[in-house]
Amino acid sequence: MQPEALTGSCLCGSVKFEIKPPLSGFRYCHCSRCQKASGSAHASNIFVPQSQMKWLTGEGLITRFDVPGAKRFSVWFCSRCGTRVPHKVRERDDYLVPAGVLDEDPAMRPQNSIFWNSKAPWYVEPAEIPKFSEYS
Ligand SMILES: [Zn+2]
Ligand SMILES: [Zn+2]
């Protein structure tokens, strides 16, 4: 069963938002822009229609960056702590929500990995490496 609403927040807690399921998609994106924007191997992107997304606090602290020359790629982040927050996808009805900023389990799981051919050369599938519950 899907939760009624999911909340999310940035690292410093200034920016808070709420999204309402059903979510329209969940994917890992390995494109080079997502690598830069996330500082990691891939972004974990959830999509939700604009009407199901609501800012609760801190909207005024959000800095928006539209990548020059990009059709849709934007990065919105909390100007106090730098955490990436959801952004309205240009030319589409959707918000892109970075899954890691959610405070609750979205119930949905990633459906696919896109831009697989652009993946970082150092990326190793998690199944292939040892796991520890704390620092090792
Ligand atoms: Zn913050
Ligand atoms: Zn991407």
Does residue 29 form part of some domain? Answer: yes
* Rounded mean pLDDT for each run of 10 residues along the chain, 136 residues in total: 86 98 97 96 98 98 94 95 96 95 96 98 96 93
CB-proximal residues (5 Å) to ion ligand 1: 10, 12, 14, 78, 80-81
Q: Which domain holds residue 59?
A: 6-118
3-state secondary structure of 113: strand
* C-alpha dihedral sign at 94, 99, 102, 104: positive
Radius of gyration of the chain (CA): 15
The pLDDT value recorded for residue 91 is 87
| Nearest to 46, CA basis, from 104, 1, 122, 91 | 104
Does residue 131 form part of some domain? Answer: no
The model's pTM: 0.93
The pLDDT value recorded for residue 84 is 98
Ligand 2 centroid distance, CA of 32 (Å): 7
CATH number at residue 35: 2.170.150.70
- Rounded Cα–Cα distance for residues 100 and 57 (Å): 18
Which ligand has its closest atom nearest to the C-alpha of 81?
1
